[in-house]
Every structure is written in C-alpha cells, then in structure tokens.
Amino acid sequence: MKLPIEFSKKYEKILKSDFQRFVETFDEIPISAFRVNPLKKIEVEAEKIEDSDFGYYGKISGKSKEFLVGEIYSQEPAAQMVGQIARPEQDMRVLDLCAAPGGKSSHLLSYLGNTGLLVSNDISTKRSKILVENLERWGNRNNIILNESPDKLADVFSAFFDMIVIDAPCSGEGMFRKDPDAMSYWSPKYVEECVSRQKKILSEAMKMLAPTGVIVYSTCTWSPEEDEEMVAWLLNEYPNLALEFEKKYWPFEFKGEGQFLARFRNNDDSLVKKSKFRMVKSNLNSEQLKLWKVFRTRSLNFEPKGILQAFGDNLFLLPESLPDLSKLRIARNGLHIGVFKKNRFEPSYALGIALNKNDSKQEIELTDEEVIGYAKGNPIIKDKNLPNGWTHLLSDGHGFGFSKYVDGMLKNNYPKGLRIHG
Ligand SMILES: C[S@@+](CC[C@H](N)C(=O)[O-])C[C@H]1O[C@@H](n2cnc3c(N)ncnc32)[C@H](O)[C@@H]1O
C-alpha cells in the first residue's frame, strides 16, 4: 500500500526500529471481528479475542440472521478495546458523545443491560439515522439518541454523567488499511484541525461530567498530537482529572487496526453544582392512555418501566430521571413502542426487537430462512391455528418485531428502510 510521504517520514522518526514492521502491516488483510449481544445470548464457534468480554474474530454478513436479529455487531478488535476499558457499571448514566454508527454505544449497552441510561449523540444528522437503526436492532430499553453539538448538550446535562465516552473524530490513520480512501484527506494540516476540534469537544464534555465521573477518550489514529499530547493537555487544563489507563494499539503488536485510548477519573467535589433538573414527564392524554392499556393487557406480559411520552401519534418509553430534552434535536426519543391509530394501538418493530421470549401473549418462532425472507419484505405462511392478531416474531427466542397474524399468514411489517435486497 502506498502511504502518504509525510506520513511515512513522521512514523519513521517516531517508531525507529519498529518502522519496517509497521509499514509491512499495511499490506496485510484487515482484521475482522464481532461482538455478541448479552441480551440475546447465542452460541458462537469462533476464536475469542483475548481480554474481551464479548468479542470474537471473524466476519458476519449484514444479511445474516445473527445481524438482522441484533445478536452480533461487527467491530474490529482494537475498536472493541474502548468499550472494554470503559466497562460502565449497572445503573450508571453514560454519554457517548460521538456515537455514530454505534459500535461503542452497543458495547456500552452490553454492560448496562437495561439499567441506568445511555445517551448516544452524534453531530451528523445522516450518521445519527444509522445510529438509530443499529441501536434499535441491539434492543436495549434505556437508550436515547440525540443529534446535537456538544455545547447544546452541555446546557442541558450540566455535571450529569457518571461516564462520558469521546470516540473523537480524528485523522483516522488506523483506518488506512481497512479503508484506503481515508488516506486521501490526510495531511499534517488535517491532523492540526482534528486537534483543535477534539479540544473543543473535550471542553464541552468536561462540563457534563459528574464530580467523580469517568472520561474515556479514544481515537483511531496514532498521531501523538491527537493522542498522548491530548492527554497531557487535558491533565493540564483539568488538574482534578487522574489518568487511570492509557494505551496505543499498533497493528504490529495487537491483532487489530489502529486505536488509542485513555481513561480518566474526576476527583473534584468542589465542582458539584447540585444541578436541579426539570425532569421529563409523561404527556399522554386519557384516550392514548386507554388505547395503550388495552393493547398492553391484551398483547404483552411486559410492564414497561420508565416515562411514556407521545410525539404526535408515536408512543415512546423514556428512561427515568432524564432532564427535559425539549431544547435538543432528538433522533430517538427512547424506545419507540408503537403508533396510535384511530381507536387502536399498533406495536412497533423497535418494541418487538427489544422484547424476548415470554414477553408477549402470542408469539411464534421463525426459522433462519423465514427471518431473512421477512427482512426482504415477504410475508410468512404459518398455518398454526393461532387467533388472528398481533404476534411477536421470535428467532431462537429473540424478538424480531411484531406482525399481524391473519388466517395462517404473518403480514410483513418490517420497516421498509431496513429491508435487505438480493
Ligand atoms: C470515530 S467516529 C465515531 C465512531 C463511533 N463511536 C462507533 O464506535 O461506531 C466520530 C464521530 O464523531 C462525529 N462528530 C464529529 N464532530 C463532532 C462533534 N463536534 N460533536 C459530536 N460528534 C461529532 C462524527 O459525525 C462521527 O460520527
């Protein structure tokens, strides 16, 4: 692979005798890996990634039933180390500030389970839509997705989060092997631009960190300006931060692509501002509440925990103890439960994929072929003598949406935008 000349010169100086090994790795095949979803346990026959809770080497197709049902997430091994080192504890309030397309967020959710709160944010509207798709498929119920600039978030979430992950936009050197196009916009000047953007993002993040909270900063680049020098800058600007972990992942030392990561803890009680939040509240009118209760009693064994909120005709479940979000751009207002229609309520795909076996009163197991056919937009013929009505689709006990069973046929209710082709 032909590397940018200034890039080679820079790393020859930095790596000295390791430089040759470094250069050779660019001609090797990129390392593929995936993580399994602990909410949807599956058996995996693949090589486990060392020191990883959920990771395996190997490639799984975006058209496989494992992907479609949210049982796995493809993520290369070095990128997996970010969530692994962050490892939030249950019940924490966590912010993933630069979250799209959702690799780190889905990993963080794997530790939280359905406890606490994960706010996933990305400044890009286009990318935050992909983030919604990926996290919806993952199926947790304690996640909201925002599409904001960090300064707008800081106005709402002052000293709020126990953990903030900043997987920063960076010069992307660690992606050169996997995505050679990333080389086309690399230059020393681009590295400088990334540095100044990272400092701005970190300064806003610090305003949202709880007094004893944890910051995890990561990049997929090796440039010291964006990595070790950023750590030094942060420690200098915020003397109450203590560095707990710092590591650079080189492809000649670790079986993966490129990554840098650092973890800090805040130790500043004087920072406590005892912020008072106007909490998010339920806003359902009596008709909506009635329709929802009729559906829930008739179709679910699951009693949602959280705040029910209607946005137009759409019903969402928000995690408890959230501040008022009305001033922010919301990409996913919690778990989308369904839609109010005239005189009835229809459950959503998102609810169906977030629930598992025994959460619904009427359910049906699909074969792997049926899952794939359904994701292509086909109905499913299942002559099971079930009563006509909403039926929870399952694949190995894991939810895959709701479908209306009518006289032996499951109508296709898979979101059109998610359909697979071919
Ligand atoms: C390295 S990618 C994140 C990858 C993601 N964490 C994952 O694991 O899938 C960096 C992201 O930062 C976003 N971004 C860029 N500038 C930002 C800003 N000022 N605030 C928040 N996000 C930003 C980009 O849109 C991009 O999606």
Q: Where among 253, 271, 289 does a domain terminate?
A: 271
Pocket test for ligand 1, best of 123, 145, 261 (most atoms within 8 A of CB): 123
- Rounded Cα gap, residues 55 and 53, in angstroms: 6
1 versus 143: the higher-pLDDT residue is 143
Give the number of domains in the chain.
3
**Amino acid present at 41:** K
**Residue range(s) defining the domain that contains residue 335:** 276-351
Q: Where among 351, 380, 399 does a domain terminate?
A: 351
Containing 193, the helix (H) or strand (E) segment is helix 188-207
Q: How far is the CA of 58 from the centre of ligand 1 (A)?
A: 25
Residue 364 located in a structural domain: yes
Answer yes or no: do 265 and 140 share one domain.
yes
CATH label of the domain that carries residue 392:
2.30.130.60
Does the annotation flag 396 for ligand binding?
A: no
Sheet containing strand 344-347, edge to edge, reads: 307-311, 314-318, 335-341, 344-347
Bond from prior residue into 101 cis (ω within 30 degrees of 0): yes
Residue 4 located in a structural domain: no
pLDDT digits (tens, 9 = 90+) for 138-175: 999 999 999 999 999 999 999 999 999 999 999 999 99
Note the pLDDT of residue 383: 83
Could you tell me the pLDDT band of residue 279, with boundaries at 50, 70 and 90? confident
Answer yes or no: do 238 and 150 share one domain.
yes
- Rounded Cα gap, residues 257 and 33, in angstroms: 11
Answer yes or no: do 195 and 336 share one domain.
no
Containing 246, the helix (H) or strand (E) segment is strand 241-249
Question: Pick the catalytic residue: 220, 280, 380, 394?
Answer: 220
Answer yes or no: do 134 and 234 share one domain.
yes
The candidate with the shortest Cα–Cα distance to 266, out of 204, 200, 218, 210, is 210
Whether 310 shows a pLDDT value over 70: the answer reads yes
Residue 69 located in a structural domain: no
Containing 345, the helix (H) or strand (E) segment is strand 344-347
Residue 103 beta carbon below 6 angstroms from any ligand 1 atom = yes
Does the annotation flag 102 for ligand binding?
A: yes
| Token pair in block for residue 126 | 């286009």
**Amino acid present at 308:** L
Stretch 232-246: mean pLDDT, rounded?
97
Q: Where among 351, 382, 401 does a domain terminate?
A: 351
Residue 114 located in a structural domain: yes
- pTM beyond cutoff 0.95: yes
User: CB–CB of 98/198 below 8 Å?
Assistant: no
Note the pLDDT of residue 278: 73
Q: What are phi and psi of 279, to 5 degrees?
A: -75, 155
CATH label of the domain that carries residue 188:
3.40.50.150
Answer yes or no: do 231 and 341 share one domain.
no
Residue 83 beta carbon below 6 angstroms from any ligand 1 atom = no
Whether 272 shows a pLDDT value over 90: the answer reads no
Does the annotation flag 256 for ligand binding?
A: no
Residue 67 located in a structural domain: no
Answer yes or no: do 367 and 347 share one domain.
no
Residue 301 located in a structural domain: yes
ipTM score assigned to the predicted complex: 0.99
Answer yes or no: do 337 and 381 share one domain.
no
Rounded mean pLDDT of the chain? 95
* Catalytic residue status for 194: no
Could you tell me the pLDDT band of residue 271, with boundaries at 50, 70 and 90? low
Residue 83 located in a structural domain: yes
Answer yes or no: do 325 and 187 share one domain.
no
Answer yes or no: do 367 and 412 share one domain.
yes
pLDDT digits (tens, 9 = 90+) for 368-381: 999 999 999 999 99
Residue 36 located in a structural domain: no
Note the pLDDT of residue 273: 52
- Rounded Cα gap, residues 78 and 82, in angstroms: 8
Note the pLDDT of residue 403: 97
- Rounded Cα gap, residues 82 and 380, in angstroms: 40
- Rounded Cα gap, residues 257 and 131, in angstroms: 22
Answer yes or no: do 246 and 300 share one domain.
no
Could you tell me the pLDDT band of residue 385, with boundaries at 50, 70 and 90? confident
pLDDT digits (tens, 9 = 90+) for 5-58: 999 999 999 999 999 999 999 999 999 999 999 999 888 999 999 989 999 999
Answer yes or no: do 102 and 251 share one domain.
yes
Answer yes or no: do 258 and 140 share one domain.
yes
Take atom 1 of ligand 1 and give the residue whose Cα is closest: 169
Containing 110, the helix (H) or strand (E) segment is helix 103-112
List C-alpha distances in Å: 406 to 69, 89, 359, 379, 391: 23, 44, 21, 11, 10
